[in-house]
Amino acid sequence: MTTTAWHESIYSAGWIPGSAGTLTVTAPATGEELARVGLADAADLDRAVAGAKEAQRAWGGAPYVERAAVLRRAAQLLEADPSRLAGWLVPESGSAQAKAAFEVGLVVEELYECAAVASAPPGQLLRSVKPRLSYARRVPYGVVGVVAPFNFPAILAMRSVAPALAVGNAVVLKPDPRTPIAGGLALAELLEEAGLPEGVLHVLPGGAEVGQALVAHPDVPCLSFTGSTPAGRAIGEAAGPLLKTVHLELGGNNALVVLPDADVAAAASVGAWSSFLHQGQICMTAGRHLVHRSLVDEYTALLAEKADKVPVGDPTDGAVMLGPLIDERQLSHVDGVVSDSVAAGARLVAGGTHEGLLYRPTVLADVPLDSRAWQEEIFGPVAPVVAYDDVDEAIELVNGSEFGLSVSLLTSNAYAAVELADRIHSGAVHVNDSTVDDEAVAPFGGIKASGVGGRFGGAAANLETFCETQWVTVQGRPEQYPF
Protein backbone atom coordinates (compact mmCIF):
# COMPACT_ATOMS: atom_id res chain seq x y z
CA MET A 1 0.00 0.00 0.00
CA THR A 2 1.83 3.12 -1.20
CA THR A 3 1.11 6.66 -2.34
CA THR A 4 3.20 8.99 -4.43
CA ALA A 5 2.51 12.07 -2.29
CA TRP A 6 4.39 11.04 0.84
CA HIS A 7 6.53 8.17 -0.41
CA GLU A 8 9.83 8.58 1.46
CA SER A 9 8.84 12.21 2.13
CA ILE A 10 7.99 14.67 4.84
CA TYR A 11 5.74 17.68 4.26
CA SER A 12 7.62 20.96 4.63
CA ALA A 13 7.17 23.57 1.91
CA GLY A 14 6.08 20.70 -0.30
CA TRP A 15 6.89 16.99 -0.30
CA ILE A 16 10.61 16.61 0.33
CA PRO A 17 12.95 13.88 1.62
CA GLY A 18 13.57 13.76 5.35
CA SER A 19 17.15 14.41 6.42
CA ALA A 20 17.17 11.31 8.65
CA GLY A 21 16.21 8.90 5.86
CA THR A 22 13.00 6.92 5.82
CA LEU A 23 10.55 5.41 8.27
CA THR A 24 8.82 2.11 7.53
CA VAL A 25 5.12 2.10 8.42
CA THR A 26 3.76 -1.33 9.36
CA ALA A 27 0.33 -2.76 10.15
CA PRO A 28 0.21 -3.87 13.80
CA ALA A 29 -2.30 -6.62 12.97
CA THR A 30 -0.15 -8.36 10.39
CA GLY A 31 3.34 -6.83 10.43
CA GLU A 32 2.87 -5.96 6.75
CA GLU A 33 4.84 -3.02 5.40
CA LEU A 34 2.32 -0.33 4.41
CA ALA A 35 4.55 2.48 3.22
CA ARG A 36 7.84 4.25 3.65
CA VAL A 37 7.73 7.89 4.61
CA GLY A 38 10.39 10.48 5.25
CA LEU A 39 12.06 10.69 8.64
CA ALA A 40 12.83 14.18 9.95
CA ASP A 41 15.58 15.34 12.27
CA ALA A 42 16.28 18.50 14.26
CA ALA A 43 17.69 20.28 11.21
CA ASP A 44 14.41 19.67 9.37
CA LEU A 45 12.61 21.08 12.39
CA ASP A 46 14.67 24.27 12.32
CA ARG A 47 13.96 24.78 8.63
CA ALA A 48 10.26 24.04 9.12
CA VAL A 49 9.89 26.56 11.93
CA ALA A 50 11.68 29.23 9.90
CA GLY A 51 9.41 28.54 6.93
CA ALA A 52 6.31 28.50 9.09
CA LYS A 53 7.25 31.80 10.71
CA GLU A 54 7.66 33.40 7.28
CA ALA A 55 4.45 31.94 5.80
CA GLN A 56 2.38 32.87 8.86
CA ARG A 57 2.67 36.59 8.15
CA ALA A 58 0.56 36.39 5.02
CA TRP A 59 -1.73 33.64 6.38
CA GLY A 60 -2.44 35.49 9.62
CA GLY A 61 -3.01 38.74 7.73
CA ALA A 62 -5.36 37.21 5.16
CA PRO A 63 -9.12 37.91 5.38
CA TYR A 64 -10.80 35.39 7.65
CA VAL A 65 -12.94 34.17 4.74
CA GLU A 66 -9.82 32.80 3.04
CA ARG A 67 -8.85 30.71 6.05
CA ALA A 68 -12.44 29.54 6.50
CA ALA A 69 -12.67 28.54 2.84
CA VAL A 70 -9.62 26.27 3.07
CA LEU A 71 -10.96 24.42 6.11
CA ARG A 72 -14.43 24.14 4.61
CA ARG A 73 -13.02 22.79 1.36
CA ALA A 74 -10.95 20.21 3.27
CA ALA A 75 -14.10 19.04 5.07
CA GLN A 76 -15.93 18.71 1.76
CA LEU A 77 -13.10 16.73 0.16
CA LEU A 78 -13.01 14.31 3.09
CA GLU A 79 -16.80 13.96 3.12
CA ALA A 80 -16.72 13.09 -0.56
CA ASP A 81 -14.01 10.46 -0.10
CA PRO A 82 -13.75 9.19 3.51
CA SER A 83 -11.53 6.31 2.36
CA ARG A 84 -8.61 8.66 1.77
CA LEU A 85 -8.24 8.74 5.58
CA ALA A 86 -10.15 5.68 6.78
CA GLY A 87 -8.12 3.54 4.40
CA TRP A 88 -5.03 4.38 6.45
CA LEU A 89 -6.60 4.46 9.90
CA VAL A 90 -7.63 0.80 9.64
CA PRO A 91 -4.27 -0.84 8.88
CA GLU A 92 -1.90 1.77 10.33
CA SER A 93 -3.51 2.36 13.75
CA GLY A 94 -5.35 -0.97 14.03
CA SER A 95 -8.73 0.73 13.93
CA ALA A 96 -11.81 -1.38 13.34
CA GLN A 97 -13.66 -0.12 10.29
CA ALA A 98 -16.52 1.34 12.33
CA LYS A 99 -14.06 3.19 14.56
CA ALA A 100 -12.21 4.52 11.51
CA ALA A 101 -15.45 5.77 9.97
CA PHE A 102 -16.36 7.43 13.27
CA GLU A 103 -12.96 9.11 13.47
CA VAL A 104 -13.22 10.42 9.93
CA GLY A 105 -16.59 11.92 10.87
CA LEU A 106 -14.98 13.66 13.84
CA VAL A 107 -12.32 15.15 11.56
CA VAL A 108 -14.99 16.44 9.18
CA GLU A 109 -16.90 18.03 12.06
CA GLU A 110 -13.70 19.60 13.39
CA LEU A 111 -12.90 21.17 10.03
CA TYR A 112 -16.38 22.64 9.64
CA GLU A 113 -16.43 23.92 13.21
CA CYS A 114 -13.04 25.56 12.80
CA ALA A 115 -14.09 27.15 9.54
CA ALA A 116 -16.67 28.95 11.68
CA VAL A 117 -14.04 29.77 14.34
CA ALA A 118 -12.26 31.86 11.70
CA SER A 119 -15.22 34.28 11.67
CA ALA A 120 -15.85 34.30 15.43
CA PRO A 121 -15.66 37.71 17.18
CA PRO A 122 -11.99 38.08 18.09
CA GLY A 123 -12.34 40.29 21.12
CA GLN A 124 -14.31 42.33 23.60
CA LEU A 125 -15.07 46.02 23.95
CA LEU A 126 -13.98 47.21 27.39
CA ARG A 127 -15.09 50.06 29.61
CA SER A 128 -12.49 52.69 30.48
CA VAL A 129 -12.24 55.63 32.89
CA LYS A 130 -10.67 57.65 30.08
CA PRO A 131 -12.44 59.01 26.97
CA ARG A 132 -11.06 56.40 24.63
CA LEU A 133 -11.73 53.19 22.79
CA SER A 134 -10.51 50.23 24.84
CA TYR A 135 -10.72 46.63 23.71
CA ALA A 136 -9.12 43.21 24.16
CA ARG A 137 -8.51 41.09 21.10
CA ARG A 138 -7.22 37.64 20.31
CA VAL A 139 -4.15 37.52 18.09
CA PRO A 140 -2.38 34.40 16.78
CA TYR A 141 0.77 33.17 18.49
CA GLY A 142 2.59 32.87 15.17
CA VAL A 143 3.83 29.27 15.05
CA VAL A 144 2.06 26.53 17.02
CA GLY A 145 3.79 23.21 17.61
CA VAL A 146 1.57 20.11 17.74
CA VAL A 147 2.56 16.67 19.00
CA ALA A 148 -0.12 14.04 18.35
CA PRO A 149 -0.54 10.42 19.55
CA PHE A 150 -1.19 7.11 17.79
CA ASN A 151 -4.60 6.05 19.10
CA PHE A 152 -6.99 8.46 17.36
CA PRO A 153 -4.22 9.95 15.25
CA ALA A 154 -6.29 11.95 12.76
CA ILE A 155 -8.71 13.71 15.08
CA LEU A 156 -6.21 14.24 17.89
CA ALA A 157 -3.92 15.99 15.40
CA MET A 158 -6.66 17.90 13.60
CA ARG A 159 -8.31 19.27 16.74
CA SER A 160 -5.12 21.27 17.32
CA VAL A 161 -4.12 21.87 13.70
CA ALA A 162 -7.49 23.13 12.42
CA PRO A 163 -8.24 25.75 15.12
CA ALA A 164 -4.64 26.95 15.12
CA LEU A 165 -4.87 27.50 11.36
CA ALA A 166 -8.33 29.05 11.61
CA VAL A 167 -7.17 31.89 13.84
CA GLY A 168 -4.12 32.64 11.71
CA ASN A 169 -1.24 30.54 13.06
CA ALA A 170 1.17 28.40 11.10
CA VAL A 171 1.62 24.87 12.44
CA VAL A 172 4.48 22.39 12.80
CA LEU A 173 3.02 18.93 13.47
CA LYS A 174 4.97 15.94 14.75
CA PRO A 175 2.78 12.83 14.46
CA ASP A 176 3.50 9.66 16.38
CA PRO A 177 6.06 7.66 14.36
CA ARG A 178 3.74 4.63 14.50
CA THR A 179 0.96 6.54 12.69
CA PRO A 180 2.68 9.19 10.58
CA ILE A 181 0.22 8.92 7.68
CA ALA A 182 -3.22 9.00 9.28
CA GLY A 183 -1.85 11.27 12.00
CA GLY A 184 -0.15 13.77 9.74
CA LEU A 185 0.83 13.21 6.12
CA ALA A 186 -2.68 12.31 4.89
CA LEU A 187 -3.98 15.43 6.65
CA ALA A 188 -1.31 17.54 4.97
CA GLU A 189 -2.30 16.15 1.58
CA LEU A 190 -5.95 16.96 2.32
CA LEU A 191 -5.25 20.55 3.36
CA GLU A 192 -2.84 21.07 0.47
CA GLU A 193 -5.54 19.97 -1.96
CA ALA A 194 -7.99 22.30 -0.21
CA GLY A 195 -5.74 25.27 -1.01
CA LEU A 196 -3.66 25.78 2.14
CA PRO A 197 -0.72 27.99 1.13
CA GLU A 198 2.71 26.42 1.06
CA GLY A 199 4.68 26.72 4.29
CA VAL A 200 1.70 27.25 6.61
CA LEU A 201 1.66 23.57 7.71
CA HIS A 202 4.67 21.31 8.18
CA VAL A 203 4.42 17.60 9.06
CA LEU A 204 7.58 16.01 10.41
CA PRO A 205 7.52 12.30 11.25
CA GLY A 206 10.32 11.70 13.68
CA GLY A 207 11.42 10.40 17.02
CA ALA A 208 12.13 11.97 20.38
CA GLU A 209 14.85 14.22 18.96
CA VAL A 210 12.32 16.09 16.81
CA GLY A 211 9.84 16.40 19.65
CA GLN A 212 12.48 17.76 22.00
CA ALA A 213 13.64 20.26 19.40
CA LEU A 214 10.05 21.41 18.87
CA VAL A 215 9.55 21.96 22.60
CA ALA A 216 12.82 23.87 22.91
CA HIS A 217 12.57 25.99 19.77
CA PRO A 218 12.51 29.73 20.60
CA ASP A 219 10.26 30.54 17.64
CA VAL A 220 7.48 28.16 18.73
CA PRO A 221 5.73 30.11 21.51
CA CYS A 222 2.78 27.71 21.84
CA LEU A 223 2.83 23.93 22.06
CA SER A 224 -0.17 21.57 22.00
CA PHE A 225 0.59 18.03 23.19
CA THR A 226 -1.72 15.03 23.45
CA GLY A 227 -0.29 11.91 25.02
CA SER A 228 0.63 10.15 28.24
CA THR A 229 0.89 11.87 31.59
CA PRO A 230 4.60 10.97 32.09
CA ALA A 231 5.46 12.44 28.68
CA GLY A 232 3.34 15.50 29.44
CA ARG A 233 5.17 16.06 32.72
CA ALA A 234 8.51 15.90 30.90
CA ILE A 235 7.32 18.42 28.30
CA GLY A 236 5.98 20.75 30.96
CA GLU A 237 9.28 20.56 32.84
CA ALA A 238 11.27 21.32 29.68
CA ALA A 239 8.99 24.14 28.51
CA GLY A 240 8.58 25.85 31.89
CA PRO A 241 11.94 27.68 31.97
CA LEU A 242 11.31 28.82 28.39
CA LEU A 243 8.03 30.51 29.46
CA LYS A 244 6.11 28.91 26.61
CA THR A 245 2.37 28.46 26.53
CA VAL A 246 1.84 24.70 26.77
CA HIS A 247 -1.46 22.86 26.42
CA LEU A 248 -1.26 19.30 27.73
CA GLU A 249 -4.10 16.82 27.14
CA LEU A 250 -2.98 13.75 29.04
CA GLY A 251 -4.08 10.36 30.30
CA GLY A 252 -6.98 9.24 32.42
CA ASN A 253 -8.11 6.47 34.71
CA ASN A 254 -11.75 7.23 34.23
CA ALA A 255 -14.54 6.08 36.51
CA LEU A 256 -17.86 4.64 35.39
CA VAL A 257 -20.29 4.64 38.32
CA VAL A 258 -23.33 2.35 38.30
CA LEU A 259 -25.72 3.87 40.85
CA PRO A 260 -28.11 1.68 42.88
CA ASP A 261 -31.15 2.53 40.74
CA ALA A 262 -29.47 1.90 37.36
CA ASP A 263 -30.75 -0.41 34.63
CA VAL A 264 -28.05 -3.07 34.89
CA ALA A 265 -28.31 -4.37 31.34
CA ALA A 266 -28.08 -0.87 29.88
CA ALA A 267 -25.21 -0.06 32.24
CA ALA A 268 -23.26 -3.13 31.12
CA SER A 269 -23.61 -2.04 27.50
CA VAL A 270 -22.29 1.43 28.31
CA GLY A 271 -19.52 -0.15 30.38
CA ALA A 272 -18.41 -2.49 27.60
CA TRP A 273 -18.28 0.33 25.05
CA SER A 274 -16.42 2.58 27.49
CA SER A 275 -13.69 0.02 28.25
CA PHE A 276 -13.28 -1.95 25.02
CA LEU A 277 -13.69 0.57 22.16
CA HIS A 278 -10.49 0.70 20.06
CA GLN A 279 -8.88 -1.88 22.32
CA GLY A 280 -9.15 0.50 25.27
CA GLN A 281 -6.51 2.75 23.71
CA ILE A 282 -8.37 5.98 24.45
CA CYS A 283 -7.60 8.54 27.14
CA MET A 284 -11.32 8.54 28.05
CA THR A 285 -11.58 4.75 28.40
CA ALA A 286 -13.36 3.57 31.56
CA GLY A 287 -10.56 2.12 33.67
CA ARG A 288 -12.56 1.81 36.88
CA HIS A 289 -16.10 0.40 37.13
CA LEU A 290 -17.71 1.31 40.46
CA VAL A 291 -20.89 -0.73 40.92
CA HIS A 292 -23.28 -0.71 43.86
CA ARG A 293 -22.93 -3.94 45.82
CA SER A 294 -26.58 -4.91 45.16
CA LEU A 295 -25.89 -4.91 41.40
CA VAL A 296 -22.24 -5.89 41.11
CA ASP A 297 -22.65 -9.64 40.50
CA GLU A 298 -25.23 -9.18 37.75
CA TYR A 299 -23.30 -6.31 36.18
CA THR A 300 -20.03 -8.24 36.16
CA ALA A 301 -21.66 -11.30 34.58
CA LEU A 302 -23.28 -9.20 31.84
CA LEU A 303 -20.05 -7.32 31.17
CA ALA A 304 -18.11 -10.58 30.89
CA GLU A 305 -20.72 -11.99 28.52
CA LYS A 306 -20.30 -8.98 26.25
CA ALA A 307 -16.51 -9.24 26.44
CA ASP A 308 -16.60 -12.88 25.37
CA LYS A 309 -18.71 -12.09 22.30
CA VAL A 310 -16.66 -9.20 20.85
CA PRO A 311 -14.99 -10.20 17.55
CA VAL A 312 -11.25 -9.49 17.72
CA GLY A 313 -8.94 -9.75 14.72
CA ASP A 314 -7.46 -8.06 11.66
CA PRO A 315 -9.46 -4.81 11.30
CA THR A 316 -9.45 -5.05 7.52
CA ASP A 317 -12.19 -7.65 8.12
CA GLY A 318 -15.45 -5.71 8.40
CA ALA A 319 -16.86 -8.14 10.98
CA VAL A 320 -14.07 -7.37 13.45
CA MET A 321 -14.91 -4.88 16.20
CA LEU A 322 -11.55 -4.76 17.98
CA GLY A 323 -8.18 -4.78 16.27
CA PRO A 324 -4.65 -5.11 17.65
CA LEU A 325 -2.85 -3.18 20.31
CA ILE A 326 -0.44 -0.76 18.70
CA ASP A 327 2.80 -2.65 19.43
CA GLU A 328 4.61 -5.21 21.60
CA ARG A 329 5.46 -2.63 24.24
CA GLN A 330 1.82 -1.82 24.80
CA LEU A 331 0.90 -5.50 24.82
CA SER A 332 3.51 -6.17 27.49
CA HIS A 333 2.17 -3.31 29.60
CA VAL A 334 -1.47 -4.40 29.38
CA ASP A 335 -0.70 -8.07 30.01
CA GLY A 336 1.58 -7.15 32.90
CA VAL A 337 -1.10 -5.04 34.58
CA VAL A 338 -3.63 -7.87 34.30
CA SER A 339 -1.22 -10.54 35.53
CA ASP A 340 0.01 -8.44 38.45
CA SER A 341 -3.53 -7.54 39.48
CA VAL A 342 -4.69 -11.16 39.41
CA ALA A 343 -1.68 -12.07 41.53
CA ALA A 344 -2.70 -9.29 43.94
CA GLY A 345 -6.18 -10.79 44.37
CA ALA A 346 -8.31 -9.67 41.43
CA ARG A 347 -10.53 -12.33 39.88
CA LEU A 348 -10.26 -12.87 36.11
CA VAL A 349 -13.82 -13.20 34.79
CA ALA A 350 -13.24 -12.81 31.04
CA GLY A 351 -10.32 -12.40 28.65
CA GLY A 352 -6.78 -12.04 29.87
CA THR A 353 -5.41 -13.82 26.79
CA HIS A 354 -3.97 -12.71 23.47
CA GLU A 355 -2.82 -13.95 20.07
CA GLY A 356 -0.02 -11.71 18.91
CA LEU A 357 -1.16 -8.14 19.48
CA LEU A 358 -4.83 -9.17 19.58
CA TYR A 359 -5.77 -8.87 23.25
CA ARG A 360 -9.15 -10.24 24.33
CA PRO A 361 -11.54 -7.85 26.13
CA THR A 362 -10.91 -8.51 29.80
CA VAL A 363 -13.04 -8.19 32.93
CA LEU A 364 -11.53 -8.21 36.42
CA ALA A 365 -13.70 -8.49 39.54
CA ASP A 366 -12.93 -7.99 43.23
CA VAL A 367 -10.08 -5.70 42.23
CA PRO A 368 -7.89 -4.58 45.17
CA LEU A 369 -7.77 -0.80 45.43
CA ASP A 370 -3.97 -0.86 45.63
CA SER A 371 -3.55 -3.05 42.54
CA ARG A 372 -2.11 -1.81 39.26
CA ALA A 373 -5.42 -2.35 37.47
CA TRP A 374 -7.12 0.15 39.78
CA GLN A 375 -4.31 2.66 40.17
CA GLU A 376 -2.85 2.92 36.65
CA GLU A 377 -4.03 3.98 33.23
CA ILE A 378 -4.04 0.62 31.43
CA PHE A 379 -4.65 1.79 27.85
CA GLY A 380 -5.96 -1.63 26.92
CA PRO A 381 -9.34 -3.44 26.75
CA VAL A 382 -9.57 -4.12 30.47
CA ALA A 383 -12.55 -3.42 32.76
CA PRO A 384 -11.70 -3.56 36.49
CA VAL A 385 -14.84 -3.81 38.66
CA VAL A 386 -15.17 -2.81 42.33
CA ALA A 387 -18.26 -2.84 44.56
CA TYR A 388 -19.22 0.08 46.79
CA ASP A 389 -21.83 0.33 49.55
CA ASP A 390 -23.07 3.93 49.42
CA VAL A 391 -22.83 6.92 47.12
CA ASP A 392 -20.50 8.87 49.38
CA GLU A 393 -18.02 6.00 49.18
CA ALA A 394 -18.34 5.95 45.39
CA ILE A 395 -17.62 9.67 45.08
CA GLU A 396 -14.60 9.31 47.33
CA LEU A 397 -13.29 6.49 45.12
CA VAL A 398 -13.89 8.52 41.96
CA ASN A 399 -12.00 11.53 43.32
CA GLY A 400 -9.26 9.38 44.87
CA SER A 401 -7.43 9.04 41.54
CA GLU A 402 -4.67 11.41 40.48
CA PHE A 403 -6.46 11.69 37.13
CA GLY A 404 -9.47 13.83 36.29
CA LEU A 405 -10.56 13.50 32.68
CA SER A 406 -14.00 11.87 32.25
CA VAL A 407 -16.60 10.29 34.54
CA SER A 408 -19.82 8.43 33.69
CA LEU A 409 -22.81 8.25 36.05
CA LEU A 410 -25.45 5.63 35.19
CA THR A 411 -28.82 6.00 36.90
CA SER A 412 -32.59 6.15 36.48
CA ASN A 413 -32.64 9.58 38.16
CA ALA A 414 -30.65 11.88 35.90
CA TYR A 415 -31.28 15.02 37.92
CA ALA A 416 -29.96 13.45 41.10
CA ALA A 417 -26.83 12.50 39.15
CA VAL A 418 -26.40 16.11 38.03
CA GLU A 419 -26.29 17.09 41.69
CA LEU A 420 -23.61 14.46 42.26
CA ALA A 421 -21.60 15.99 39.41
CA ASP A 422 -20.98 19.03 41.62
CA ARG A 423 -18.89 16.79 43.88
CA ILE A 424 -16.81 15.16 41.12
CA HIS A 425 -13.35 16.43 40.20
CA SER A 426 -13.22 15.81 36.46
CA GLY A 427 -12.96 17.73 33.21
CA ALA A 428 -16.14 16.01 31.96
CA VAL A 429 -19.10 14.28 33.58
CA HIS A 430 -21.57 12.30 31.45
CA VAL A 431 -24.89 11.22 32.91
CA ASN A 432 -26.22 8.02 31.32
CA ASP A 433 -23.56 7.93 28.63
CA SER A 434 -20.07 6.60 28.08
CA THR A 435 -16.87 8.05 29.48
CA VAL A 436 -15.76 8.15 25.84
CA ASP A 437 -17.33 11.22 24.29
CA ASP A 438 -16.11 14.16 22.24
CA GLU A 439 -17.69 16.80 20.00
CA ALA A 440 -16.10 19.58 18.00
CA VAL A 441 -18.39 22.16 19.63
CA ALA A 442 -17.63 21.15 23.25
CA PRO A 443 -14.61 22.25 25.33
CA PHE A 444 -12.58 19.13 26.04
CA GLY A 445 -9.77 18.66 28.54
CA GLY A 446 -8.83 17.28 31.92
CA ILE A 447 -7.73 18.44 35.34
CA LYS A 448 -5.15 17.15 37.82
CA ALA A 449 -2.83 14.63 36.10
CA SER A 450 -5.13 14.52 33.06
CA GLY A 451 -4.13 17.87 31.67
CA VAL A 452 -3.38 21.54 32.00
CA GLY A 453 -3.75 24.55 29.74
CA GLY A 454 -6.43 25.27 27.18
CA ARG A 455 -9.42 23.29 26.01
CA PHE A 456 -10.14 21.85 22.58
CA GLY A 457 -13.51 22.48 20.92
CA GLY A 458 -15.93 25.36 20.42
CA ALA A 459 -15.12 28.88 19.28
CA ALA A 460 -14.51 30.36 22.73
CA ALA A 461 -12.14 27.60 23.84
CA ASN A 462 -10.26 27.50 20.54
CA LEU A 463 -9.73 31.25 20.48
CA GLU A 464 -8.44 31.18 24.05
CA THR A 465 -6.21 28.16 23.44
CA PHE A 466 -4.58 29.17 20.16
CA CYS A 467 -4.39 32.96 20.56
CA GLU A 468 -2.76 35.48 22.83
CA THR A 469 -4.79 38.33 24.31
CA GLN A 470 -3.79 41.87 23.40
CA TRP A 471 -5.19 45.02 25.03
CA VAL A 472 -5.58 48.00 22.66
CA THR A 473 -6.60 51.58 23.48
CA VAL A 474 -7.21 54.45 21.06
CA GLN A 475 -7.52 58.18 21.88
CA GLY A 476 -8.24 61.04 19.52
CA ARG A 477 -5.27 63.11 20.71
CA PRO A 478 -2.24 62.49 22.95
CA GLU A 479 -2.93 62.34 26.67
CA GLN A 480 -1.65 65.34 28.67
CA TYR A 481 0.67 64.50 31.61
CA PRO A 482 2.30 66.81 34.20
CA PHE A 483 5.84 66.06 33.00
Q: Please list, in sequence order, all residues whose beta carbon lies within 8 angstroms of the beta carbon of residue 480, skipping any fewer than 6 positions away.
A: none
Considering the candidates 103, 109, 110, 249, report the single residue annotated as catalytic. Answer: 249
Do residues 319 and 98 lie in contact, with contact meaning Cβ atoms separated by under 8 Å? no
Give the Cα-Cα-Cα angle 373, 379, 385 (nearest 5 degrees).
35
Question: Is 249 a catalytic site residue?
Answer: yes
Question: Is 468 a catalytic site residue?
Answer: no
Considering the candidates 283, 376, 377, 464, report the single residue annotated as catalytic. Answer: 283
Residues known to be catalytic? 249, 283
